[in-house]
Amino acid sequence: MTEEAMLYGCLHNDAVSQQELYNRFSPKMLSVCYRYAKSREDAEDMLQEGFIKIFTQIHQFQSRGALEGWVRKIVVHTCINNLKKNKKFSESVDIIHATGIQVKEENIPSILQAKQVIECIRMLPLGYRTVLNLYAIEGYSHKEIAAMLDIEESTSRSQYTRAKAMLEDILLKKNILQKPRERTEWMEAVKSN
Amino acid sequence: MERNFYNEDFEGFLKDKADQHRLYPSEKIWKNIHRQLHPRREWPYIIGALLLLLLGVASKYYMDGDEPGNSATVSANNANNIASPNEPAGTTNSSASDNSITPGKKDNRPLSVISSRGINNNEPLSLSFAPGSRNEISALVISGPAGQSTGLFAIEKRNIPFSDLIPLYSIKKINAADISISQPSSLPAEINEMMQRQHADPSSAIVLRPGKKERIEWQFYFTPTVSYRTLNGKATKAPYSYNGIVYSTSPGFPQNVDDAVTHKPSIGMELGMAMLYNVNKKLRVKAGMQFNYSQYLINAYNYVPEIAPYGSSRNGFRSDTINVISHYRNFNGFTQTWLRNERLMISLPVGAEWTVAGKGRVQFNVAATIQPTYNLTNRAYLVSTNLKNYAEEPSLYRKWNVNSALETFLTINTGTVKWSVGPQFRYQLLSSYKNNYPIKEYLFDAGFKVGVNKTLK
């Protein structure tokens, strides 16, 4: 089914077209929700809410942009709204000095690298994780994040800096990331040959 | 494993990995979304419930009216208009227009034959009857307000079933044209003896004859069934694409759907009511409403989510493939499971019954009906067109269908009611799924029907 036909069907509340759109985007969008949610179950609840919004607001989609981007935007906003209902979340994004976490390699499942990275992101404190998701992956600016989360722009920046440092540490410990060799080491390696 | 050098484009790295990641939601998420977007129409349930309620009330109304021991108040407002006992039998008193019986139920049908004596002017009386053997009645007794017997209504023809007597005491008003006199001396000896035992004056006997044979019956029935299905169709082995990715089907998969599917029957049921019209002594036509619950089990295997093909849908002049995320495989999966396909249907059966043998209390009959059917709920897993997967796809379910039923049964007349028992076979005439799904499924149920018939008075 082409995207135009699918959109036309969704606009007319056609179940087949709606299921096509759902099948097309739900795996990716569940991954988005999973990065924000506390658990898989919470992520599925967010996904369900997000898709109901998508189908009820499909007439607001402007065909100028990509459909996936619009779908993603609604899903991300649904996730954020869900998180904001949680009091613990409000507290966590306002904490400037989040407590560090001890990362042990065995905590990280070794399945696929993409999954490993997602699991590493999910190990971050909730406030860190949310800001990191919005800034690094979704591409929102700190100003937009501040408006979305009802926090100061500076708080968003500092949360991101700390989140990034913590995630880098996790990824390095897991050997998912590797620090580049110093130039001198490389030169010496060449010389020794 | 690929290693990523730590570089400045940390955000780009995270975004790439996040974009590569996929999670497949559980089946219930789409079901919940679908249910919210397309709420089930309530009107079939409301109409069904109202019809059942209406028919229940109507049946109770008629059944209450003819229970043994029920009584009706008799009053003779004008004794002069009541026929004289000395008049010869068969004559008609045409001036008894004010003579009335006021029973608990409204019924304006005329009394066949009645003569009366001993009913005093303006005296309210109650009517009861003396049962004979085997739920038959041989006499009716009129009692005064204090319970004192004031007259005996003897039935000219002895041992009449209760069902034939119903119009005699459920009428509202006696039709003067139908009143006639019977000589007490012409009563059978047993009735005369009974009247003596009752200390009633034989000359005050009112002689009753049974009314006309009633033609309409209500039937209520329940049928435990064994539900199953037949499948027809061949696998589609053509590659199919989804989101630009082309999937192929192993040529080693079975070709015929019957060879590929393992399924087994399960227990269902049928509950309904019908109105029957006696065309003659042997033929009855009937129409009614019934609910059917049907289910069967399919052998499948849990598996990771996969894209499965389910035929095509028309979109204007273009045909689009229907792809569904499946969590079950038909074979070669992880753990075995039995999927339950179940349906709740409402039908309006219309048909006929024929009495093949028997004239007395026990008769042997055959019946056939055709049943326009609406699927109230439908929970069914469909095998994919390449026979590889199972998934639910509500857009392919047919809402309206037609069933046929054939049955043979014995009827046993107990006097007040008639019981029907016998085997029944019901077969679905159209496939359970729409024509754009190439595999055809026909449900059938075999059961043992137990019904009770009550004559409508």
Any CB–CB contact under 8 A between B304 and chain A? no
Rounded distance between C-alpha atoms, residue B151 and residue B141, angstroms: 6
User: Does A114 lie at the interface with B, CB-CB under 8 angstroms?
Assistant: yes
CB contact under 8 A, A176 and B321: no
User: Please, which residues 387-446 of chain B have a Cβ atom closer than 8 Å to chain A?
Assistant: 393-395
Nearest Cα to Cα of residue B389 among B300, B259, B320, B311: B300
Residue A22 has pLDDT above 70, yes or no: yes
How far apart CA B219 and CA A180 sit, in angstroms, is 87
Eight-class DSSP state of B180: B
**DSSP 8-state class, residue A182:** P
Residue A128 has a CB neighbour count (10 Å cut-off) of 25
Placement of tokens 């942009």 in the chain:
A65
A30 — contact with chain B (CB < 8 Å)?
Answer: yes
- Give the Cα-Cα-Cα angle B259, B261, B265 (nearest 5 degrees): 120
- d(CA A86, CA A106) in angstroms, rounded, equals 30
Query: Alpha carbon of A32 to those of A122, B33, B165, B174: distances in Å?
Result: 11, 18, 78, 83
* Nearest residue of A to residue B38, measured between CA atoms: A15
pLDDT, residue B115, reads 35
Q: What are the tokens at A104?
A: 């042990």
pLDDT (tens digit, 0 to 9) for every residue of chain B, 457 residues total?
444 545 457 788 888 888 888 888 888 899 889 888 887 766 667 777 777 787 777 666 555 544 433 333 333 333 223 333 333 333 333 333 333 333 333 333 333 333 333 334 344 444 444 444 444 444 454 444 444 444 444 444 444 444 444 333 333 333 333 333 334 444 455 555 655 554 444 444 444 444 455 678 889 999 999 999 888 887 776 777 666 666 666 666 677 787 788 889 999 999 999 999 888 888 999 999 999 999 999 999 888 888 888 887 766 666 677 888 888 888 887 888 899 999 999 999 999 999 998 877 888 999 999 999 998 888 889 988 888 889 888 888 888 999 999 999 999 887 778 899 999 999 999 999 988 888 889 999 999 999 998 876 5
Closest residue to B21, CB basis, from A115, A136, A180: A115
Look at B26 and A44 and tell me if their CB atoms are within 8 Å: yes
- Asked if B15 lies within 8 A of A114 by C-beta distance, the reply is no
Minimum-distance CB partner of B25 among A19, A20, A47? A47
Chain A residues touching B32 at Cβ < 8 A? 48
Report the gap between the CA of B48 and the closest CA in chain A (Å).
Answer: 26
CA of A50, closest CA in chain B: separation in Å?
Answer: 10
Which candidate from B7, B13, B33 shows the least CB-CB separation from A52?
A: B33
CB A170 within 8 Å of CB A159: no
Token pair 């658990």 is at which residue? A39
What number is the ipTM of this complex?
Answer: 0.78
Residue B4, classed as helix, strand or coil, is strand
Q: Shortest Cα distance from A21 to chain B (angstroms)? A: 11
Asked if A117 lies within 8 A of B17 by C-beta distance, the reply is yes
Q: For residue A178, what are the β-bridge partners?
A: B5
Q: Which A residues 58-87 touch B at CB under 8 Å?
A: none
Nearest-angstrom CA–CA distance, A144 and A151? 10
Q: Rounded to a whole number, what is the distance in angstroms from the first to the last CA of chain A? A: 59
Of the residues B21, B28, B35, B37, the best mutation for testing chain A's interface (the one with the most A CB atoms within 10 Å of its CB) is: B21
The full 3-state SS of B403-434, as one line of letters, equals EEEEEEEEEEECCCCEEEEEEEEEEECCCCEC
Nearest Cα to B396, choosing from B345, B431, B433? B433
Rounded to the nearest 5 percent, the helix, strand and coil shares of chain A are: 75, 0, 25
Nearest Cβ partner of B25 from A44, A115, A178? A44
Q: Do A177 and B322 touch (CB under 8 A)?
A: no
Three-point CA angle B34, B40, B45, nearest 5°: 160
Rounded-to-integer distance, Cα B432 and Cα B233, Å: 13
